[in-house]
Amino acid sequence: MSVSAAQLEAIGIAIARALCSGASAPVKGPEAAIAAAATTALQENFRLETVIDREVEKQIEQLGSSARGLDQAKLRAGLRERIAKQKGFAL
């Protein structure tokens, strides 16, 4: 999934506002710093997801003709799940 930097920043700001709002806000601190941290976390999440997807494609290429008779969607999903688990990444 392709998300622009501006979209990630807007999501980070929305997360910060939600976490910092109200008298009993779960997070205290400067909203801008919290938004920056949320945006950075989102960027890293998307980066790692891209790395996982590339590894899936690489493994499918390595399987070559032995993967032709298999359900490609199931194969990709299974490989993606396994690689994500190895990296400690929650899908």
Higher pLDDT, 13 or 25: 13
Does 49 map to a domain? yes
Task: Quote the pTM value.
Answer: 0.78
Does 19 map to a domain? yes
Positive or negative CA dihedral for 43, 85, 66, 64? positive
Q: Answer whether residue 79 shows pLDDT above 80.
A: yes
Q: Across the chain, what does the average pLDDT equal? A: 92
Tell me how far apart the alpha carbons of residues 80 and 91 are, in angstroms, rounded to a whole number: 9
Domain count, the chain: 1
Cβ-based neighbours of 19, under 8 Å, separated by 6 or more: 25, 26, 27, 34
Instruction: Determine the structural domain holding residue 42 and report its residue range.
Output: 5-86
Does 91 map to a domain? no
What does the pLDDT look like over 38-62, one tens digit per residue?
999 999 999 999 999 999 999 999 9
